[in-house]
Amino acid sequence: MKTIKITLAFAFLALNLGFGQEKEENQILITNVKVWDGISDKTIDADVLIEGNKFKEIRTGLKAPKGSTVIDGQGGTLIPGLIDMHTHIMLWGGTTEGTYEYDAYGQGARAIKMAEMLLEMGYTTIRDIGGNSLSIARLVNEGKLQGPRIYSAGPVISQTGGHGDWGPSNEGPGEGNYQTMVRNTHVVDGVPEVIKATRWNFRNGANFIKVMAGGGVASTFDPLNMTQMNIDELKAIVEVANAYESYVAVHSYHDRSYNQALDAGVKSFEHGFLITEPTVKRMSETEGVFWSWQPYGSYTLFAGGFPEWFTPDMIEKGTAVNKGALLVPPLMRKHGVTVVLGSDMFGDEVIYARQNIVSAKEVPDTGYTDLEIMKMATSNPGKVLTMSGPGRDPYKEAKLGVIEVGAWADLNIWSEDPTKDVKVLESDDNLKLIIKDGKVYKNSL
C-alpha cells in the first residue's frame, strides 16, 4: 500500500514538472492597434507584448521575440477585456420557475454555457451576484472550465418574504424549497441565522456577499418600498464580511433601504432607481461606496414593455423603476459616485450583456460620455473587485480592467473605438480579437 502511494506521488510530480523540461512562456505581440488603457482620455499608438498571462511591454516599435505569435490588429482599438458586475449565470427563466425542472447538475452545466457565451462576447471577468456559482467560479479560476474570471457571491442572503425568497406560497416558515436546496439562496431570519449563512458562503469560497435589502420588481412577496433585513442583521453580515476583509453588496431601490445599508457599512449598491439626491450625496461622501447600474433592465427593456409573465403588481413596480431610471444616473454623475455597469441578465439573456453598456448611452440626459461609460465596464470594476480583499480575491496578483505592464493579459480588439461611440459594441462583427489570461478565444483578424 505504501509503495503504491509513493509511486503515485512520483507520477503526479513528474506530470507537474513536465519531466524536467522548462516550460517556455507563451508570447504574443500585437501590432497596428490604437490602445485604450481603460483610464486615459485618449488612445495611443503602441504595440502590445504579452508574456504568459500578463502584459510585458506596451510601446511603439516593439520587435517580435523569437518564437512569439504576431497578430496584426489592422488598425483596430485594443481595450481591456469587458467586465460585467452583475450577472446571474445560475438562474434562468425567472427564479420561481424554469430551473425547477432540472437538478443542480443540469443547472450547473447550463451555467457553464452562459459563462462561455459571456467570454465569447468579450467579457473576460464577471461578478456573479447571486446563485450558487461558487464551485463553477473555482473551476474556471483554476483553468479547469472555460469562461470569464468569476467573482461569485454564492447564494443570496434574504429574509423570509424577501426578494430572495423564491419558494411557493404554501411553503411553511423555514421549510425550504428547490432554490434553497440547491443553495441559490439562503432564506434566513435573525442575527444568528444570517451570520451562519454569511460564514457558509465565505467557507465555500465566496468573494463577497449579496444581501437582499429591499423590495424587488420581479418577485412575488415583497412590495418595492419595503426595507429587508433589520439593521442588526445587516450589521452582523457586514461584520462577517469585514472579518474576511471583504464587502457586502445589496439589492435595493429606495432611500430608506439604501440609508439603512449605508448605516451598516455596505459598500456595493445595486439598482437604486428610486433614491433621491441626499442619498446620492451621502454615497459620494462615504469611503469605498459605489453604484452598480443596470440601464438595459431598468430603461431600455421596460421602455419596450414588460415581460409576458409579469403580474399586474410587477408591472406597477416596473413602471416606478422605469421612471426612476431617468432621474438617478445624472445625480450619480453630479456627485461623482463611482459607477460600474452590471447587466443583471438571467440565463440565455446574457446575450444582452453588452447591450447594457450601449443602453447607458441611450438613457437621455445623464451627461455621461462614451469614454466614462467604457470606464464603467473596465477600469472602475477592476478597481472595485480588489475590495474582495487579499483573502478572497482570486486575482489579487495583478490588475484587472486595464492595459498596463504587469496587469492580467485580458483584452478585446474592436474595429472602431468604443470610447468614442459605445454603439460599436452592438455587433459581434466589430469584435475582432478576445484574449483572456494570455490565451486567444476569438480571432477574426
Which positions touch Zn ion (CB under 5 A)?
344
What is the Cα–Cα distance from 72 to 34, expressed in whole angstroms? Answer: 12
φ, ψ of residue 285 to 5 degrees: the values are -95, -5
Give the residue with the Cβ less far from Zn ion, 165 or 344. Answer: 344
Taking CA atoms, 181 is separated from 92, 100, 155, 160, in Å, by 16, 11, 11, 15
Question: At closest approach, how far in Å is the CB of 331 from Zn ion?
Answer: 21
Question: At closest approach, how far in Å is the CB of 125 from Zn ion?
Answer: 17
Question: At closest approach, how far in Å is the CB of 223 from Zn ion?
Answer: 18
Concatenating the DSSP letter of every residue in 357-391 gives: HHHHHHSTT----HHHHHHTTTHHHHHHHGGG-TT
Give the residue with the Cβ less far from Zn ion, 84 or 344. Answer: 344
Question: At closest approach, how far in Å is the CB of 412 from Zn ion?
Answer: 24
What is the Cα–Cα distance from 306 to 50, expressed in whole angstroms? Answer: 45
Question: At closest approach, how far in Å is the CB of 143 from Zn ion?
Answer: 27
Radius of gyration, alpha carbons of the chain: 22
* CA-based nearest residue to 338, from 290, 279, 276, 269: 290
Give the residue with the Cβ less far from Zn ion, 344 or 437. Answer: 344
Cβ-closest residue to Zn ion? 344
| Contacts of 258-262 spanning 24+ positions with Cβ under 8 A | 258/214, 258/283, 260/213, 260/227, 260/231, 260/234, 261/211, 261/213, 261/234, 262/286, 262/289
Give the residue with the Cβ less far from Zn ion, 222 or 344. Answer: 344
Question: At closest approach, how far in Å is the CB of 42 from Zn ion?
Answer: 34
Give the residue with the Cβ less far from Zn ion, 344 or 404. Answer: 344
Concatenating the DSSP letter of every residue in 119-188 gives: HHTTEEEEEE-SSS-HHHHHHHHTTSS-SSEEEE--SEEE-TTSTT--S-TTPPTT---HHHHTTSEEE-
Question: At closest approach, how far in Å is the CB of 341 from Zn ion?
Answer: 13
Question: At closest approach, how far in Å is the CB of 329 from Zn ion?
Answer: 18
Torsion of CA 437, 120, 83, 182, to 10 degrees: -100
What is the Cα–Cα distance from 438 to 184, expressed in whole angstroms? Answer: 32
Give the residue with the Cβ less far from Zn ion, 34 or 127. Answer: 127
Give the residue with the Cβ less far from Zn ion, 178 or 346. Answer: 346
